Amino acid sequence: MSSEENKSAAEWGPMRSFGRIKSRKLKPQQANLFETLLPQIEASDAHVTEALDSGRELWLEIGFGGGEHLAAQAAKNPQVTFIGCEPFLNGVGSALRHIDEVGLENVLILANDARPLLDRLPPASLNRIFILFADPWPKARHNKRRFVQPETVAAFARVLKAGGAVRFATDWANYADWALERFLACPDFEWPAQGQADWNAPPADHVTTRYETKGLGDCRPVFFDFIRR
């Protein structure tokens, strides 16, 4: 692996993989949850260390949108601690509402870019990573803003336990090809798919969100599960 691929997110500089961080005024309930709930479940160093020391499985969702998938997975897997990262504040507000309504106690939230968190996590600390319908940055000149890059794939390999998995989903054909190329170029990952049904059909444990059903991309949803060797 080249020295370029070994760089941390901080060393790679201000690559911004997301657009605006706020679109409209937060609803009163969401604004209140930012003040009351978020400080209790913020993915601070102390809270993340506590989660790591608990011995529970740790799953990470990068760019959770409105938090529907994050909350549903957390409700279905109470034995797992989830960390959700999302820089879009309206999405964070939506996720906080879901967490509050269900009374989830196994979720930590980082209202920011996930890359600094990846840099801080110790090796082999995560069991699963989800990157679902991330911003595709479809124009060629913007491809460098895509979250899946050689350096982030290398970061995933570092923080995942052996046998851990990254699930990548998109409804943009070019981003699917892009992600597949970069994960397969990393010797730490294998792709166990045997046929088209393995990536065209939603996995059994997938949670469909409202954003996914909008079909804003240029192809049917594609699901890749990459396994850490």
Residues paired with residue 107 on neighbouring β-strands, in sequence order:
82
CATH number at residue 171: 3.40.50.150
Per-residue pLDDT for 24 more than 80? no
* Category of 198 on φ-ψ map: left (φ > 0), alpha (ψ -120 to 50) or beta: alpha
For residue 212, being part of any structural domain is answered with yes
Number of domains in the chain: 1
Residue 194 lies in a domain: yes
Q: Is residue 37 part of a domain?
A: yes
**Do 30 and 96 form a contact (C-beta atoms < 8 A)?**
yes
Assigned domain for 11 exists? no
Residue the block writes with tokens 């657009």: 19
In a domain, 1, yes or no: no
Residue-wise pLDDT tens digits, 164-198: 999 999 999 999 999 999 999 999 999 999 999 99
Cβ(183)–Cβ(227) below 8 Å: no
Distance CA 101, CA 85 (A): 19
CA distance 82 to 179: 23
Residue 77: CB atoms within 10 Å: 15
For residue 157, pLDDT beyond 90: yes
Task: Give Cα 146 distance to the centre of its chain.
Answer: 13
Q: Distance (Å, rounded) from C-alpha 33 to C-alpha 86?
A: 16
Contact 179, 156 (CB under 8 A): no
The answer to the question of residue 85 being in a domain is yes
Domain-located, residue 10? no
Q: How does residue 25 score in pLDDT terms, banded at 50, 70 and 90?
A: confident
218 domain-assigned: yes
Q: Which domain holds residue 124?
A: 30-228
166's CB contacts (< 8 A; 6+ apart) are: 128, 129, 130, 131, 156, 160, 183, 189, 225, 226, 228
Which residues 6+ apart lie within 8 Å of 193 measured at CB? 199, 224, 225
Give the active site residues.
135
Is the model's pLDDT at 11 over the cut of 90?
no
